[in-house]
Amino acid sequence: MSDQSPIVVKFAKYDKNMNFLVKSEHKGSLLKVLNDVLEHADNYNETSAIIDGSSFKRIEKKAYPGAALREALLNAFAHADYFIRSNIKIEFFEDKVKITNPGGIYKATLEEIMDGIQTYRNPGLVRILSKLNYVENFGTGIPRILNAYAGQEKQPFFDPTENFFKLTLPNLIFNIDPLSDPIPDPILDPLTDFEIALMKTIKENPGLNAMQLLNKMLIIYPNATIDKVKNSLKRRLAKYCEFMGSRNGGGYHLRKKDEIDGTRTTRND
């Protein structure tokens, strides 16, 4: 693991047409390369914030959940066959990341390693990574990846061959569909905390006019103004809220889900 190590790790990120957005090679000692790759990969593990339409809480969701991405990368380094003249490749696509390392599964089956069975192609390397707290050396890497995706529609795909091990992790925030996402009625627009609170107030108190809403909002936002409430309702919240009733006796209500979707479709057209 000296600085003269021949290890080369290729790192890439593509756009939807497979054009390179990022293309780099990492060389040096194994630990230096590993740290560089872990840092780069973490930077590309994007976070999407959606708003739960039931609780109006902002919920963050990672593209690659839990420890899945880190464990996949560590697995590639720990179990690669460094005698094969090839490279470890990490490729980020819009909808997935694909990690390929030389060396198939070492003296085990895919089912066995998914169940936590350990085999060692590089026992010395695994011991060092364990002492430095990169891995636990307990056969938990693959099970952790599976656990991170538990309950998700998209699942990791393992493709071992005789000479290579390929692992594809799906991007869980790629093309989130408001109709099929498990969170009820998710709101994908980047709303402010004030706008979220205003929507929650309307849901809990349907039929209030702008001044009545302001009085409610002043409890949690003492500096709120009637202009701020009206501007929010007329602009960024117009897709989610509507005024119903007469000018003097009416008030604001949340739109139904199909009405919101219809508004979105109309705007896209």
Among 90-94, 178-182, 190-194, 199-203, the least confident range = 178-182
| 36 and 104 housed in the same domain | yes
Q: Is the pLDDT of residue 35 over 50?
A: yes
200: nearest Cα among 29, 126, 208, 138: 208
pTM of this structure:
0.69
Q: Is the pLDDT of residue 180 over 80?
A: no
Report residue 193's pLDDT band, with 50, 70 and 90 as the boundaries. Answer: confident
| 152 and 207 housed in the same domain | no
Q: What is the pLDDT of residue 47?
A: 84
Report residue 258's pLDDT band, with 50, 70 and 90 as the boundaries. Answer: low
Among the three residues 170, 201, 225, which one is the final residue of a domain in this structure? 170
- Per-residue pLDDT, averaged over 196-225, amounts to 93
| 158 and 256 housed in the same domain | no
Q: Which two three-digit tokens encode residue 104?
A: 């198939």
| 20 and 130 housed in the same domain | yes
Q: Report yes or no on 238 lying in a domain.
A: yes
Q: What is the pLDDT of residue 210?
A: 95
Q: Report yes or no on 3 lying in a domain.
A: no
Q: Report yes or no on 129 lying in a domain.
A: yes
- Per-residue pLDDT, averaged over 208-237, amounts to 94
| 236 and 144 housed in the same domain | no
Report residue 102's pLDDT band, with 50, 70 and 90 as the boundaries. Answer: very high
* Residue 228, domain CATH: 1.10.10.10
What percent of the chain lies above the pLDDT cut of 90? 67
Contacts of 119 (CB under 8 A, 6+ apart): 105, 106, 107, 108, 113
Residues forming a β-bridge with 24: 11
Tens digit of pLDDT for each residue in 44-60?
998 887 777 677 777 77
Q: What is the pLDDT of residue 260?
A: 54
Mean pLDDT, all residues of the chain: 86
Q: Report yes or no on 179 lying in a domain.
A: no
Q: What is the pLDDT of residue 60?
A: 79
| 116 and 68 housed in the same domain | yes
| 221 and 108 housed in the same domain | no
Domain count, the chain: 2
| 132 and 28 housed in the same domain | yes
What percent of the chain lies above the pLDDT cut of 70? 86
Q: Is 65 helix (H, G, I), strand (E, B) or coil?
A: coil
Phi, psi torsion values for 14, nearest 5 degrees: -115, 160
Report residue 259's pLDDT band, with 50, 70 and 90 as the boundaries. Answer: low
Report residue 171's pLDDT band, with 50, 70 and 90 as the boundaries. Answer: very high
| 69 and 15 housed in the same domain | yes
Q: What is the pLDDT of residue 107?
A: 94
Tens digit of pLDDT for each residue in 125-138?
999 999 999 999 89
| 157 and 210 housed in the same domain | no
* Residue 125, domain CATH: 3.30.565.60
Q: What is the pLDDT of residue 179?
A: 36
**Do 229 and 237 form a contact (C-beta atoms < 8 A)?**
no
Q: What is the pLDDT of residue 177?
A: 47
Tell me which residue range forms the domain holding 199: 193-268
Q: Which two three-digit tokens encode residue 201?
A: 């107030």
